Structure 1
Amino acid sequence: MSTPTADLKSALQGDIPRINVRNHLKILGAFTDLIESISKHDGWTREEFFQRSTYRLQLWVEKVINVGDEGQQPLQARELPPLDVAMALHSLMLSPARYFEDSELRFRQLKRMEEYPLAMVVDALGTDNSKYSRLENHPAPEHWRIHTGLQYDAIDSMQNDTTRSVTCPACQEAVLVSWRGDRGFSAADFHHTCPKCRIALTHDVLRAGKFFASLNRAREDPKLCLPNTAILLRGELGVTSRCSNIVNEVWKCFESENGKLTRLEDIAALSATERCSIMEYIAKTLSSPQSILIPENVPLLLRAFEHSYPFTQDIVDALRHQYQFMQIIHDEGWSQSTSKPSDDDLDAAYAEYAEFLQRIAIQGSGDPQWRDDLLWHTHQLMPTQYRVGVVIYIQYFLDHLPRGECTHQNGTQMSCGKGPSCGKPCGSRRFLKAEA
C-alpha cells in the first residue's frame, strides 16, 4: 500500500523533471563562479555587483522583454538575459508570492514566461562556467546593447559602465549618477543635485519619489496596486477591489486641495519641520488617526520603498542569502561535478522534499535542509505549476517571509523591524496560507 509521502514523491517527480534539477545545479555553479570572479578584481565587491545586477534586471524587464505583448510565450533568443541578470531573475522568482504580484500587477511582461529559462541559460554557458561561451553570432548581446546602452557581459559592465540613470522625482529629468562603492546611489549618504530643477537627490528623496510615482500609477490604472497589497494583506474583498481601496485610502492621506497629490517639495518641507525624513513623515501620515489604514500594515506597505528598485522583493538582499545557499551546494559537490548527483541522490532528494511539504501542511512552519531547498527552489522556478501544485498538495502557498516579519494574532503579516524582540513569533521560515 502506498503512503501519502510516496504518493506525493511520485507527483513531485512528475512536476519537477530531473533535467530541470540538473540544469538548476548547472546554473547555480555558474552563478557561484561568476560571483567568486568578482573578488579577483581590486576594489570590486559582491555588494556592488549585486546592486548592479539588480539594476540590470530592471532594465532587462523594462527595455528588453517589454515588447508590448503580455501573452504567454517563450523568451526569444535575442532576449537571453546576461548571466548576472539571469542570477538576479533567479532570486526574484524564488519569492513566488511577490513574483506573482509583480507579474500580475506591476511588470506584466513577466507573464510571458511560463517558467525560468533554465535550458536557454544552460545552452549559452557551454563549458566555461563563469560566463556564456556560446554567443558567437548570437543576437542577444547586440539586442541588449541597443536597448540598454550597457555592456552585455557582467564583468565588462563592471569595468566600463560607471554611471547609471536616475529619474528626478520632482521634474522627471534623467540624471546620470556614478556608482560609488558598495551601494552606489542607494547609499544612505548619497547626494546629487538635479541639474534641471536643482532639487537635492538623496536616498530619502528617491525613495519618496518612488512611493509617489507608484501611487500615481496605481491611481490612474485600477489594474495596478501598491506593492505588497495584492497577496500579503488579508481582507474581505477580492484582490482587485482590496488593492483599489488601499490606493484610494493612501491617496486621501496626501491629497491636496485641488484633488492632486501634494508636491514632493512640500512634503519634504513638512518633514523638515517635524525633523524627520520624508519616508518617516509618510509613515506617520499613513498611521495617523485620520487614516483608516491598519497602522500595523503600514511598515509592510512601505517596505518595498526601502530599497532602490521597483520590484516588490528586495533582490539585493535575496542575492546575499542565495549566495550562501550556492556555497552549500558547491561544498557538497553537487554543482561542480559531472558525477553528482546520481539518480539515487535525486530520488532521495525528492523523498525529503515530499516529507518537508507534509510537515508544512501540518505545522505551517519549518526549516528545510539543503536538499529540500534545492527541490523547493527548482519547483518555484515554474511559477504557475508551483502555485497550483503546492496548493493542491498541502493547502499552503509556500513563500519565504523576510526576517523580522511577524505573524500577529489577527493573521496579518507585517514587518515590525524588531525581529524576535517584539514578543511575537518571528522568523524567515514561516509560510503564507493559500487563498481560495
Structure 2
Amino acid sequence: MFDDPPPPYAITTNEPHLAPGILQTQGSTVPRSLNSTAHLRLLGAFKALRSTVEENLGAQLPDTVAGLDAAQRWAWFVGLAVDRFERWAAFVSSKALKSWVKTDFPPLDVLMVWHAYMLNPRWYAEDCERLPLLASLKGLGDRLLPAVPWILVKIEIGDPTTYHPSGPRETSWAARTGMPWDPFEASREMIHRRMKCPKCHKEVETPYLTPEGTGYAQRKFAVACSSCRLLITKEGLGLAKFADDLVSDHKTPHVGFGVYFAGTLHTEMKTTDELRANRIKNAFVRANALSSRTQITRAQWRQEILEKFNYSIAALPAAVSLLLLDGGGRRIVNRILSAYTDDRPFSIDLVGAVIRQGSFIDKMYSFGWTQADFFDGPQDEAVLVHAITRYHA
C-alpha cells in the first residue's frame, strides 16, 4: 500500500492495547490515536474557517457578501472553494506521498472540499474512474484511501489553522490555478464564473452573487445568454450535462473508459462494472422519451433532448422512471439523475456535502475534541483508543 515502511498512523490488530477478543481480523489496520487526533485538529481548522467566514472576522470579504446572513455567506464561500478544488484537481500530481504533501497539498478551503468528497466514498471512487479530471486523484487513492494519513499532513504542515506555504509554493499554486493561495484573497477576485450556454455553446460569464439573488452561488440562479438569449438555470445546465453523457459514444474508449452515466459504473462488488454501466446506458438510449430520430448527428440528438424537456432536467425523472434497470427501476434512475444538478463535473453536490459535514464538525467542537491539547492527558487518550476499538469492532 505504501512505498515507505509502515507509517506511524496505522496499527495492526495485534496491538497490545486493543481488545484481542474483539479485533480478530488478521492483517487489517485501524487508525492510531495520533492520526485520529491530527484528523480532529483538521476538523477544528475547518470549524475556524467557517466561523471566520460566517462572522466575517478579519477575512476582508467582498462588499457583495455584507448583506448576506451567516448561512448564505458560508454557502457562497464553499461554492468558491468547490471551483478552486476543480482547478487544483486538474494539475495535482500523484507522486510519492511525503513529497506530494510538501508540493501538491492544497489550501485549507480546497482540502475541506476534498475531505467532504471522500466522505461519499462510492461517488468519489466512481468519479476517480469515470472523470479524466480526477485521474491524478485516482493515482493517489492507493496511498490516501480509505484512511488519509492526517498525522503525516500534521508533521509536514503543522497546525492547519496557522499554516503558511513557502514563497515558491504560493507561486506554483498561483501559476497553475490562476488565483491566490489564500482563499480570502481569492474570494475578492472570484467575482464571476464562466460557463457554456447549453443551447449555443457560447461562453457566458455570470456573477456568483447578485442583489436579486440570481447569482451562480444563489438559489434562484438565472442568467440570460448574451448570444441566443436562453435563460440559463441550474436545471438547464444539469440537463445539458446529462445529454452530453447520453449522446457520447460509450462504446468508444474515453481515457480508459467509455462515457457512462454517473452512479452506474461502481458497484458494491466491482470498482468498474462496465457491463452493468453499458446495460443501463443502452436502456436510456432506447427509452421513448430519449430515443433519437434516424439519420441524426449526436449534436442534433443532444439539442433535440434539450428542447424536448425545455432546457430543464426537472421533467426528466417522470419520463424515464419506468425503465427496468437491473431490477432497480426508479431507485437507479433517481441515483443517476441526482448527479446531474449543475454543470460541475462531479457526481455529487460538493457544496451541499461540505455544508452537511458541518453538523458533525460542530459536535466534535462542542465535545472539545478539536482543541489542540484535549487528548494530551492519558485519561482522554484512553477515551479515543476506546472509540477506535469500538469503530473497528
Partner Cα distance (2:264, 2:376) in 1: 40
Q: C-alpha separation between the residues in 2 aligned to 1:154 and 1:260?
A: 43
Give 2:88's match in structure 1, choosing from 57, 60, 76.
60
**237, 258, 278: which is aligned to 2:295?**
258
Please give the TM-score of this superposition, normalised by the length of structure 1.
0.68
Flag structure 1 segments of 5+ consecutive residues without an equivalent.
Answer: 359-436
Contact 1:218 1:247 (C-alpha < 8 Å) held by counterparts: no
176-185 or 302-311: which moved more? Answer: 176-185
| Offset, 1:213 | 2.5
Alignment partners' CA distance in 2, 1:183 and 1:117: 41
SS in 2 for 1:5: coil
**Structure 1 residue matching 2:358: 3-state secondary structure:** helix
* 2:307 maps to amino acid: A
- Which of residues 355, 361, 385 in structure 2 aligns to 1:326? 361
Q: CA 1:266 to 1:303, structure 2 compared with 1: closer, same or farther past 3 Å?
A: same
CA contact (8 A) 1:102 1:312 kept: yes
Does the C-alpha gap of structure 1 residues 184 and 78 become closer, same or farther in structure 2, counting only changes over 3 Å?
farther
The aligned counterpart of 1:164 is 193
Deviations 1:179-236 (Å, cap 9, x if unpaired)?
Answer: 116884254532222334443322221111121223345724344431111235889x
Instruction: Give a deviation string over 1:314-359, Cα, whole Å, max 9, x none.
Output: 222221222122222222222123242545434433433443554x
Alignment equivalent of 1:19, drawn from 7, 23, 34: 34
* Per-residue deviation, 1:252: 3.1
Name the counterpart of 1:192: 223
Q: What CA distance in whole angstroms lies between the structure 1 residues aligned with 2:103 and 2:391?
A: 39
Letter paired with 2:232:
L
The yes-or-no answer on 1:267 pairing with 2:305 is: yes
SS across alignment from 2:235:
helix
SS of aligned partner of 1:165: strand
Q: Give, as a single letter, the amino acid of the residue that structure 2 aligns with 1:112.
A: G
State the AA in 1 paired with 2:351.
V
* Distance in 2 (alpha carbons) for counterparts of 1:183 and 1:91: 26
Q: Identity of aligned pairs, percent?
A: 21
Q: 1:188 to 1:21 in 2, by over 3 A?
A: closer
Given that residues 105 and 225 in structure 1 are in contact (C-alpha distance below 8 angstroms), is that contact kept between their aligned partners in structure 2? yes
Distance 1:323 1:238 in 2: 31
In the alignment, structure 1 residue 104 sits paired with structure 2 residue 135? no
1:287 is displaced (CA, Å) by: 2.6
Q: Structure 2 matches for 1:32-431, cutoff 5 A?
A: 32-41=47-56, 42-43=66-67, 45-62=73-90, 64-65=91-92, 75=100, 77-106=102-131, 107-113=134-140, 114-115=143-144, 116=148, 118=150, 121-122=153-154, 126=158, 130-133=161-164, 135-139=165-169, 141-180=170-209, 184-185=215-216, 187-217=218-248, 219=250, 220=252, 221=254, 222-231=257-266, 239-253=273-287, 254-256=290-292, 257-258=294-295, 260-261=297-298, 262-272=300-310, 278-288=312-322, 294-340=329-375, 342-356=377-391, 358=393
1:2-43: CA deviation from partner (whole Å, max 9, x where unpaired): 6542546x977x532333212212211111111110123234
In 2, distance between residues paired with 1:225 and 1:83?
32
3-state secondary structure, aligned to 1:15? strand
Query: Could you say if the C-alpha distance between residues 109 and 258 of structure 1 is closer, same or farther in structure 2, counting changes exceeding 3 Å?
Result: farther
The CA deviation string for residues 223-270 of structure 1, in whole angstroms up to 9 with x for no partner, is 4431111235889x9711111221222233334223544545433432
Q: Please report how far the alpha carbon of residue 50 of structure 1 lies from its aligned counterpart in structure 2 after TM superposition.
A: 1.6
Query: Closer, same or farther in 2 for the Cα pair 1:40/1:184, shift >3 Å?
Result: same
Given that residues 144 and 152 in structure 1 are in contact (C-alpha distance below 8 angstroms), is that contact kept between their aligned partners in structure 2?
yes
Q: Structure 1's 269 and 211: CA in aligned 2 closer, same or farther, altered over 3 A?
A: closer
Is the CA contact 1:51–1:183 (under 8 Å) kept in the aligned structure 2?
Answer: no
Residues 1:3 and 1:71: Cα distance change in structure 2 (over 3 Å): closer
* Amino acid paired to 1:175: V
Equivalenced residue count is: 344
SS at match of 1:75: helix
Matched residue SS, 2:41: helix
Residues 175 and 202 of structure 1, relative CA distance in 2, 3 Å threshold: same
> Which whole-Å CA distance do the structure 2 matches of 1:3 and 1:132 have between them?
39
Whole-angstrom CA distance in 1 between matches of 2:138 and 2:96: 6
- d(CA) in 2 for partners of 1:183 and 1:108? 34
User: Is the contact between residue 264 and residue 336 of structure 2 (CA under 8 Å) also seen in structure 1?
Assistant: yes
Give the whole-Å Cα distance in 2 for the aligned partners of 1:146 and 1:216: 35
Partner Cα separation in structure 2 for residue 290 and residue 29 of structure 1? 46
> Counterparts of 1:99 and 1:289 in 2: how far apart (Å)?
26
Q: Once the two structures are superposed, what CA deviation does each residue of 1:383-436 show, in whole Å capped at 9, x if it has no partner?
A: xxxxxxxxxxxxxxxxxxxxxxxxxxxxxxxxxxxxxxxxxxxxxxxxxxxxxx
Amino acid at match of 1:92: Y
> What are structure 2's unaligned runs of at least 5 residues?
1-18, 57-65
1:91-134 residue CA offsets vs partner (Å, 9 max, x unmatched):
1111222211111222222112221463565357545x54532x
- When the two chains are superposed, the root-mean-square deviation of aligned CA atoms in Å is 3.5
1:422 matched residue in structure 2: none
